[in-house]
Structure 1
Amino acid sequence: MRASKEHMKKVRGHILESSEQGFREEGYSGLGINGLAKRAGMTSGAFYGHFQSKNQAFHEVVKKGMNDYIDTLTQLEQQYQDDWPQQFLDFYLSLEHMDDLEHSCVVPALSTDVMRSDEKTKKLFSEQLEQIVAQMSTGLVSRDRTSALALVSLLAGSVMIARCSSSRKQSKEILESARTLANSLVFKEK
């Protein structure tokens, strides 16, 4: 008896979710198919029934993560209107976001793995990054692409570097320094 399409979609979603967490926590090279399958609570053969390769699973994780970033910006804008940039910065440059690698933004969590990935995944990342930059620019004083690209890079890089520090005090200082600079891009001087 074959599983229904709905069941297969649900299982694939579960695999994707567990793969997201795995790649964020252990990186692309830290997990093989067996590790990804184990995280999803299945055999490697069952994993291959949904994804042809680890590369395909990674590509889908990056795609979902970038879409989640875009969706988060949209939701914040809808919920907080003109105050959405403040809400976004409060979350993104928080110690809680820095600490939660499992659910973190895909950009600081997986950029180094994307850098080493195939051209198809890099192209996807680049295309979706352009959408993020376009959306981010709507919350800036200047509303320009260059400042939005700088802000996205500042945020991701700051979270990445703060995570590398062995000092909680230094991590907090990195995030606070990034916030000061980010505020200058987002808010008009008073």
Structure 2
Amino acid sequence: MRASQEHMKKIRSHILEAAGKGFREDGYGGLGINGLAKRAGMTSGAFYGHFNSKDEAFSEVVKKGLEDYAQAIEGFEKDFGAEWPQYFLRYYLGKEHVENLECSCAVPGLSADVMRANTETKEIYSGVSERIAQNIADGLGKNDLSDSWALMSLLAGSVMIARCVSDPQQKKDILNAAQDWSSKMTNKPSSVAKDNQ
């Protein structure tokens, strides 16, 4: 008896979640099909029943990760109204997000591998990133995306650099500086307590 489409979707979703954590933790080059299948609790053959290649799985992980980011912006705007940037920045530059690599935002978590990925993956990245930038612009009442691109770049770069340094004080300084600059860019003072301590 063949599995239902809904059951197959659940399995595919489970694989994508496991692969997303794996690619964030180990990088594209650090995982083969066997490693991806093992993380999802299945055989390599079962993995190939859902994805034709590691590239295809990676593209889907990138797409899902960026769509989650776009939806998160919408969620912060809905939950916090005009004050959404303060809460978003506190979360994004906070200890929990910075130190939890496997659940990281796709931009700091996957961009280094997207840079080396195929054209299809880059097109997905480009398209969904523009949606994120538009969500930010809409939430800030901006007519163009220039400030959104700058904010996204500042946040992702700061998180990536903070993850690379070994000195805890250096990490705090990087994240606090990013919090201050991001607050200026969004015209919102950082009145919500910083969570980088």
Q: What range describes the TM-score normalised by the shorter chain of this pair?
A: over 0.9
Task: Tell me how far 1:144 sits from its aligned partner.
Answer: 3.6
Instruction: Report if aligned partners of 1:141, 1:188 keep a CA contact under 8 Å in 2.
Output: no
Q: With the length of structure 2 as denominator, give the TM-score of the two structures.
A: 0.92
- Is residue 78 of structure 1 aligned with residue 78 of structure 2? yes
Instruction: Report if aligned partners of 2:86, 2:188 keep a CA contact under 8 Å in 1.
Output: no
Greater shift in the superposed pair: 124-133 or 136-145: 136-145
Instruction: Report if aligned partners of 1:141, 1:185 keep a CA contact under 8 Å in 2.
Output: no
Q: Gaps (5+ residues) in structure 2?
A: 190-197
- Gap change, CA 1:24 and 1:110, over 3 Å in 2: same
Instruction: Report if aligned partners of 2:69, 2:132 keep a CA contact under 8 Å in 1.
Output: yes
Task: Tell me how far 1:141 sits from its aligned partner.
Answer: 7.0
Instruction: Report if aligned partners of 2:133, 2:149 keep a CA contact under 8 Å in 1.
Output: yes
RMSD (Å), alpha carbons: 1.3
Task: Tell me how far 1:142 sits from its aligned partner.
Answer: 5.4
Cα distance in 2, alignment partners of residues 62 and 123 from structure 1: 11
2:4 corresponds in structure 1 to: 4
SS in 2 for 1:55: helix
Matches within 5 A, 1:59-138: 59-138=59-138
- Counterpart of 1:172, as a letter, is K
SS in 1 for 2:157: helix
SS in 1 for 2:29: coil
Q: Relative contact order (C-alpha < 8 Å, sep 6+): which is higher?
A: 2
Q: With the length of structure 1 as denominator, give the TM-score of the two structures.
A: 0.96
1:13 corresponds in structure 2 to: 13
Cα distance in 2, alignment partners of residues 10 and 3 from structure 1: 11
1:187 corresponds in structure 2 to: 187
- Counterpart of 1:59, as a letter, is S
Q: Gaps (5+ residues) in structure 1?
A: none
- Gap change, CA 1:188 and 1:155, over 3 Å in 2: closer
Cα distance in 2, alignment partners of residues 19 and 150 from structure 1: 29
Cα distance in 2, alignment partners of residues 83 and 90 from structure 1: 12
Count of residues in correspondence between the two structures = 189
2:192 corresponds in structure 1 to: none
- Gap change, CA 1:17 and 1:129, over 3 Å in 2: same
